[in-house]
Structures are given as structure tokens and as C-alpha cells.
Amino acid sequence: MPPGAQNGLRSGGRRQDSGQGGGHWLEGASLYQIYPLSFRDGDGDGMGDLRGVLAGLDHVAALGVDAIWLSPFYTSPLADFGYDVADHRAVDPRLGDLALFDRVLDKAHRLGLKVLIDLVLGHTSDRHPWFELSRRSRAGDHADWYVWADPSPDGTPPNNWLSVFGGPAWTWEPRRRQYYLHHFLAAQPTLNFRSEACLEAMLDVARFWLERGVDGFRVDAVDFLMRDPGLRPNPPVEAAPYEFPAKLFGMQVHVHDMMHDDIRFVLERLRAVTDAYPNRVLVGELSSQRGAAERIEEYTREPANGPGGLHAAYTLELPKKPFSPQVFRQALMAADDRAHTCWSFSNHDVERAASRWRPQGADPARFEALLAVLLATMPGTICVYQGDELGLPQADLAQEDVRDPFGLAYWPEFKGRDGGRTPMPWTPEAPNGGFCPSGVRPWLPVSPPHLARAVAVQERRNASTLAIWRAALNLRRTRGALRTGRLTHVDEDGPVLAFGREDGAERIVCAFNFGLEPATYMLPHIDLAPIDLPRPPGTREPALDGPTLALPPLGVFLGVRPA
């Protein structure tokens, strides 16, 4: 933690400028994550595709975001639904082809949207040609492109490392008579970036897409890119759990299998490639393991003399914590002096925020409105997951409908990620909610409760969740204090979270009542002019009496003051 970071923000206090002025378009930007398999089906086979992405881009642009993050569309056996890549330079035929991708890229740019694509950097599919060559023999050009190790003297794996998805992180390959490492599925062997040839091959993949015109990458699973070269075993957690967890991965302290110091070297090499193309950026995905805020600082550090790393990074640490003003204050404080944190409340790997965080008994529309404005006012970069702008809750799937290997491994203690990946509802009257133009069964079922929240339904309502998201994102885009302004203070008072944003032209105070009862809060300024936002029907307006702000249940207040 940099000097002074711990005390950089106190109730009513101010901090030093974080030095965010990187001058790239990602600073303060709003991203929208498209999970292509579930966004829209353009050819009627029940699986979302690039033709569907093309059709849905107008909806995304109307939200007021700056860019899309396009999850994997590469050639893949779909063992992990695109994150097991068999060809990094080709579109999976079920999703389209390169010519269709170029059309998506061109239309997005014409709509004013930047395009980030997923760069699955650390592993491939076991059907990738590189792995097919590497697994055959310990000799040859690709022999060291993956992480191989001899067995222990008793034939067991070389160490105790565990896969995130369950079981050992090692699988035996009889042709080489060695184990190969996989941090996720056995079908996702880990690449070895201590091999210069392997690293350069992946950098060539990045060059291929940059030459095609993408505006940057979302870098997958950054914390797993490098590991202890000595393959030392992980120690157990200091206090063994009272009951064995369903996911045994949580029983180890992951000091050797991930988060290695050499990850920064890989990111610097990727950054050097990216910097050769004007105005391109890197956003990294970090795990929720300990010290996520410190790793964001390390991976985004910009030395005065030396190569940079990521431009921004996000972690699932916040989404995996309870929804409370105290948790959010701690997260904002921890990120205060980190140059480029990317905040997201949901994505394809976690339960949707509308279900995960909504307090029992809370009105869904009011809670969704609070989430929209809260995310839109966070400092740094933000990312909206497809369907969150509709307030979609987590879908409840039967076991026979689950496709996620993570969920299949841990059912019923963990039902997997499919409940947050079900198809987007577009038109409630159409088959499959308008996701699929035919009556073909989609790859995941459309959730019936989602139909009442379809895009076409919310387009007709002035104060719908969709309308509130559009207004909040537009406010972020047009108000410099919310887009790139510094964080002036963070406070929590009982159920109320409040923070300030400021640039050279204005100061904005944001206050949120997380509770289900009215609450009061003492504002730091008395000359604040309220900023109007659409509110769900029946919602009472906040009331100002001098510095005293009265917030209704789940109430939101934004007030502006000239700087």
C-alpha cells in the first residue's frame, strides 16, 4: 500500500490526486459485457452468435456506454463455453466467421463503441494444435509450451495443487509419461510462458486482432499466468475449516500455484505489443484471492522509466462480499490510490447482483435503481453485464438444464454459473423471449420470470429499470466529476454510504440508503443542487433541510456544487 493510502480518505476528508491521468479512453469509461452465447441468436440454432451481437448493438449503444467487452467467440469444443480455445485466430463456425466479426467491429465503431475482446492468455483447449504437438513427446518445438512435470516417486501428481473446478490440477499424459498442469478443466492445459517461443506465439495472437482493429483486450485469469518454477506445494490454510468446504480449493493458501511475481513480466510484454497500436488498452481479470487491491496496483503500475502493465483491472472480491455501506466503503478506500480499478457488480462468473445482494423484503425496482446509480457513480472504469440493465434476477435452473462444468462438479452446494448466463429476453411474445428467431430449444432455457423484464417491455415504460440505467450512464458520460473526477471523501453512517467526486468544474456528492427504513445523513455542503434522475413509481424524493438529507428506503441522492 502506498504511503498515506491507509489514511487517504476519512469521513469528510480529502485525498491526494491519484495520478489517474493516463490520457487513454478507458479512464472513466463504461463497458458493457456481451456473453455471445446468450446475447442473441441470429441463425436460429438455439445458440447466441455474432449475427445476434450485430443485431443487438443498437440496444447497447442506446445505453450510453463507451465500449463492449465481447466474451470468447473463438473456435472451441465449448467444454468451458469458449474459454477452452482451439484456435485463437478463428471464429467458431457455430458463432460466425471472421467476415461477420469484421461487420460487428465496423458497426460498433460507427455507433461510437470501442470493442474489447477476451484474450484467453494462460491456457488453451486440449484440442489446440499446440497441445497436440506438445503432448506427443518431450522433444520437438512445442515440447515446453505447456507446464509438464514428472510424477512423484509413488506415481501421484508432482505436488498438491488443486484445480478451481475440482480435483487435482494435474492430469497424466501417458505418451510423455508426465503430468500437465491445468488450473481449471483437464481440457484446459496451462501454457508455459517461461518458454519464449510460447509467449511470442501468444503475443502474435494479440497482434493478429490488433491488426484487425480491436481496441484492446480483456485479459482472462491474470493471476494464473505464472507460478513457482520449482512447483512447491501450497500450504494449508492456517485454521482448518470446521467442516470441509464443497470447494476444496479454499483449503489451501495459494502462494505457489498463482499470483507469482513474474506475472508482471508477461503483462509488460503484452503491453509493449499493445502500445505499438494507437489508443489500445488492456483490462485484466483478477481473482478474489487475498490482496486483490494491491495486485491491481502492481499490475497497473506505470513506471517513469520502464514498461507499463494493464491499463485497468477488476476483481470479483467485492461481488463476493455482503451488500453493505461498510463493505463498499472499505472497497473504495482500498482502491483509493490505485490508478485504474474497474468495478463490476455482475458478470458471467457470479450470481446476478439483483438476486445476490437484494435485501430480503426490498422492492426489486427500487433496489435495481440504487444499483444502477451506484455503479454509474463509482470512480475508475465500470462494467455492466448484459441483462443487468433490465434488472434480471438469477435464473433458477433444474439440475438437468445445467451445462456449466463448475456447477456439475459441485451440485447442489454450488449450482454453477448458468443461472447468470441464460438468454437475454428481447420480446416477451416471441418464441424464447425473442432470443432465438425459431422455436428451437436454446442452449440454456429462457427464464420465465425474465420475460416481464424484456427489452421491448421496458422500452415502453418511462421509469423502468432500463430507463434508469440509461439516465445514470448518460449522467456519468456527461458529468466530468463522475467520469474522471477524483474521489474526495467516502463515508458510511449506519445504512448510508456517501462519497464525493470532483473535477475542476464541479463537485458531486452521492448518497445511498442501503436500508429498508428511512434514514438521515448530514451532508458536507449545504449549497448542493439535486440532480434529477428517473425513479421507480411510488418512490419518494429525498428531502433537504439545510445540511440534513432525508433518504427514503433504498433512496438515492446526487447533489452538485460548483467547484
Q: How far is CA 31 from CA 285, 331, 436, 477, 539, in A?
A: 14, 20, 25, 12, 28
Query: Residue 199, SS3?
Result: helix
DSSP 190: B
The position carrying cell 432455457 is 445
Cis preceding-peptide flag for 364 (omega within 30 of 0): no
The enclosing H or E element of 366 equals helix 364-376
As a whole number of angstroms, the distance between CA 243 and CA 12 comes to 43
What lies within 8 Å, CB to CB, of 399 at 6+ separation is 411, 412
Phi, psi of 408 (to 5 degrees): -60, -35
Q: How many CA atoms within 13 Å lie on the side-chain side of 98?
A: 9
Count of Cβ atoms closer than 10 Å to residue 254 Cβ: 20
Q: What is the largest CA-CA distance in the chain?
A: 77
DSSP 305: S
In sign, the C-alpha dihedral spanning 72, 411, 287, 370 is positive
Annotation marks residue 220 as catalytic: yes
What lies within 8 Å, CB to CB, of 342 at 6+ separation is 31, 283, 312, 313, 314, 380, 381, 382, 383
Cβ(390)–Cβ(428) below 8 Å:
no
Q: How many CA atoms within 13 Å lie on the side-chain side of 1?
A: 12
Return the beta strands (E) in 201-311 as ranges. Answer: 216-219, 281-286
How buried is 381 (Cβ within 10 angstroms: 0-12 exposed, 13-18 middle, 19+ buried)? buried
As a whole number of angstroms, the distance between CA 157 and CA 150 comes to 8
As a whole number of angstroms, the distance between CA 509 and CA 524 comes to 8
Query: Which triple of cell numbers denotes residue 558?
Result: 446526487
Cβ(515)–Cβ(376) below 8 Å:
no
Count of Cβ atoms closer than 10 Å to residue 210 Cβ: 17
Choosing from 66, 220, 418, 502, which is the catalytic residue? 220
Choosing from 297, 317, 336, 418, which is the catalytic residue? 297
Cβ(85)–Cβ(120) below 8 Å:
yes
Q: Across-strand partners of 30?
A: 382
Query: Which triple of cell numbers denotes residue 305?
Result: 522509466
Return the beta strands (E) in 317-475 as ranges. Answer: 342-344, 381-385
List the strands of the sheet with 486-493, edge to edge: 486-493, 496-502, 506-513, 556-562, 529-530
At position 56, the amino acid (one-letter code) is: G
Q: How far is CA 282 from CA 112, 267, 420, in A?
A: 19, 9, 25
Phi, psi of 489 (to 5 degrees): -160, 155
Catalytically active residues are: 220, 297
